[in-house]
Amino acid sequence: MALLTILEYPDPRLRKVAVPVTAFGPEVAKLVRDMAETMYAAPGVGLAATQVDVHKRVIVIDISDSKDDLLVLVNPEIAAAEGEAECEEGCLSVPGYYDKVTRAARITVKARNEHGEPIERTAEGLLAVCIQHEMDHLVGKMFVDYLSPLKRARLTAKQRKKQRLAS
């Protein structure tokens, strides 16, 4: 296993659109293991492959307190969505920043696991938020895109300054 480097906003690679996984072999299994390890180490409750600069439709999520309930979604698609709910979100690619985003309250997602087996989950609450947040990453979208242009501009300036100081 290996810890992967998480890209930070506004890195342009976070805007790439991921392609579906077509072959379920050791490569996907390794990616999923490394992504899970990276997410747990961060620590975070979700990670999309886009965030580790791998542009494939793969996400890992674990919202459990005990960190032993890993959900792997490969090629996820939203099959149904209803209602609206506002929740404060954060992102491993925007460390230390949290803000409210409105998303669907309940969703049904169809996907495959790391072995290529079909799965279907209906989710609400934090899990629904997390799935929608991570699926956005796969199309190059980030939760800060839902903020006002002024808030986003401030955040972008702050992140750029931080990254200049770090490099």
Which residue has the CB atom at the shortest distance from Ni ion? 91
Q: Which residues contact Ni ion by CB under 5 A? A: 91
Instruction: Indicate the residue among 21 and 144 with the shorter CB distance to Ni ion.
Output: 144
Instruction: Indicate the residue among 24 and 146 with the shorter CB distance to Ni ion.
Output: 146
- Nearest distance in Å: CB 90, Ni ion: 8
- Partners of 122 in beta bridges: 108
Gap between the Cα atoms of 38 and 124, Å rounded = 25
Annotated catalytic residue within 77, 84, 88, 134: 134
Q: Tell me if residue 134 is catalytic.
A: yes
Q: Is 90 exposed, middle or buried (0-12, 13-18, 19+ CB in 10 A)?
A: middle
Query: How many other CB atoms sit within 10 Å of the CB of residue 135?
Result: 22
- Nearest distance in Å: CB 161, Ni ion: 21
Instruction: Indicate the residue among 31 and 91 with the shorter CB distance to Ni ion.
Output: 91
Gap between the Cα atoms of 156 and 140, Å rounded = 16
- Nearest distance in Å: CB 71, Ni ion: 15
Q: Is 98 exposed, middle or buried (0-12, 13-18, 19+ CB in 10 A)?
A: exposed
Show which residues are catalytic.
Answer: 134
